Amino acid sequence: MYSQMYSLSTLSVLEFSGHDASQFLHDQLSADIVGLAPGQSTFACYCNPAGRVLGLLSLSPLEGSIFAICSSGLAGSLLELFSKYIIRADVRITLRDDLTVVVNIQTGEIDPLVIMKTATGLDYAITSATTEAVQADSQQAQDWKMKELGKGIAWLDEASSAKFLPQMLGYEQIGALSFTKGCFPGQEIIARTRYLGKLKRRPLLLHIDENISFEVNEKITLIENDETCSAIVVDRAKGVAQDQLLFVVVRAAEEIKPNLLRAGDREIKVSHFSATI
């Protein structure tokens, strides 16, 4: 029954409930949360006052609550940060360890609590089905991550949190960043960067055919003939043939079309590259 559908242990579920939950999240996040209707979902960034992304979330309302999925590695810290700003608001935040994030959803196989249909075409479901019943194997999880990175979905983790502005990660293209919704932490810096055209970092996807390990935050050099520029690895995934997809942020004022990357003392061929989404 579950041959196609599987869960992702890399993602966790936060539930925001209470009369003020929607407005609270609207004020804290980079996307329009108040405007979300039942059955709709949106990506959003949680940023610090310097405009750096602490974490990416996908949110959807349901029966008085708002459910959010986020990186499992960041779930605890995000819950703690959100909780600091509740003050007198009627908001309760719960880490729902009893719920599972499922992908490749097949009609009739489960009765999901929430289905998040994202702007990227990749859908996520939240279900109370046991993790063991729909558990992904390691290659399934990597294959899905290849799809996510190819669509510009980089969930971040402890190593990449608070490092980048949303635009550096291409989050505007996946619907996670609104410039019309009003204020949120870091909004002035993010907007100033956009309107003054000062952004000199952008996301790029690199496909390589070698089975070499890369670390998050590893600095690499991209090479286009005689031109070079620096980049930093944000995330990576391995395909079934041991090919790799690297999601990197490039530091360059102009577009670069790399044919090689240099990591340490090694030069590795870039089979092809593309912008995110």
pLDDT of residue 95: 98
CB hemisphere CA count around 130 (13 angstroms): 2
Quickly name the fold that domain 200-277 has: Elongation Factor Tu (Ef-tu); domain 3 (2.40.30)
Domain ranges of the chain: 6-150, 200-277
pLDDT of 96 > 80? The answer is yes
Listed range (5-9, 21-25, 112-116, 145-149) with the worst mean pLDDT: 5-9
pLDDT tens for residues 190-236? 998 877 766 789 999 999 998 889 999 999 999 999 899 999 999 99
pLDDT of 1 > 50? The answer is no
pLDDT of residue 193: 82
pLDDT of residue 140: 86
Listed range (133-142, 143-152, 189-198) with the worst mean pLDDT: 133-142
pLDDT of residue 254: 73
pLDDT of residue 3: 45
pLDDT of residue 133: 53
pLDDT of 154 > 90? The answer is yes
pLDDT of residue 2: 36
Extract long-range pairs of 118-121: CB within 8 Å, 24+ residues apart: 118/41, 118/43, 118/58, 118/153, 118/174, 118/175, 119/42, 119/43, 119/174, 119/175, 120/151, 120/152, 120/153, 120/174, 120/277, 121/151
pLDDT tens for residues 39-93? 999 999 999 999 999 999 999 999 999 999 999 999 999 999 999 999 999 999 9
Look up the pTM and report it: 0.93
- Cβ atoms of residues 26 and 49 within 8 Å: no
Class of domain 6-150: alpha beta
